[in-house]
Amino acid sequence: MDFIEMKNKILIPTILASVILAAGITMVFTIDSKNNTYAYTPSDISKANSNIIHDDGSVSIDTVNPADIKDGISHTVIGTVLSVGDPIDWMGKHGKTYGAVPVTIKVDEDIKGVSSETLTFYLHGHYTYDNKFYLAPYEPQFEIDEKILIHLTPVSVFAFQDGEALYSSLGKYSKYKIGEDNKVYNINYPNGRSLDYAKNESK
């Protein structure tokens, strides 16, 4: 079973709603001096790793609310992004080469699940005919030193390694940027929401 098929089976048992995803939903914040509120622009994963290009395509999913799949979330953590590694190649059942991008964070707080001082999870992507690597459009983007809250789900059959590997539970909707005001932000919540609310989504 390809990774895409596994992910759809876990996250999208029935595809009912089409959501056109804008590129680069991970948010970086600046202060609007006029009204002293946060404004945001998309994060760019290529700043963390120039070998990765974000795919601006679209995807259909059943829900964009992590609370709807809370039983499938094994880890909810607050941390700081340390690194975005090069893709680890693996072969799909039809001979297509995919890649798993390792993202390592320094864990500041375990909300659900038990982590060590650092935690690595993976993002899915693919290669084009000219051997360029594109991050899947549903995946979140990250930049170094971002402070984040993220929900993660294990995959027991991950073609590049034995055992389980963690990935973002609902792609870009699983990840929040923590602002200087201690609120969390993403494309669903450009005006912010409470950090406690996001912590409790997986409980």
- Per-residue pLDDT in tens (0 to 9) along the chain, 203 residues: 554 544 544 443 333 233 333 333 333 445 444 455 556 667 889 999 999 999 988 778 899 999 999 999 999 999 999 999 999 988 777 778 888 999 999 999 999 998 799 999 999 998 988 889 999 999 999 999 999 999 999 986 666 777 789 999 999 999 999 998 899 999 889 889 999 999 999 99
Tokens 């930049």 map to which residue?
143
Contact criterion met (CB below 8 Å) for 89 and 124: no
Q: Locate 199 and state its tokens.
A: 């912590």
* Domain extent for 131: 3-200
Q: Which residues of 169-197 are buried (b: 16+ CB within 10 A; e: fewer)?
A: bbbbbbbbbbbeeebbbbbebeebeebee
With a threshold of 0.85, does the pTM exceed it?
Answer: no
Domain count along the chain: 1
Tokens 């948010």 map to which residue?
27
The residues near 112 (Cβ < 8 Å, ≥ 6 apart) are: 73, 74, 75, 76, 77, 202, 203
Picking from 78, 77, 79, 60, the residue whose alpha carbon sits closest to that of residue 144 is 79
What's residue 37's pLDDT? 57
What's residue 169's pLDDT? 94
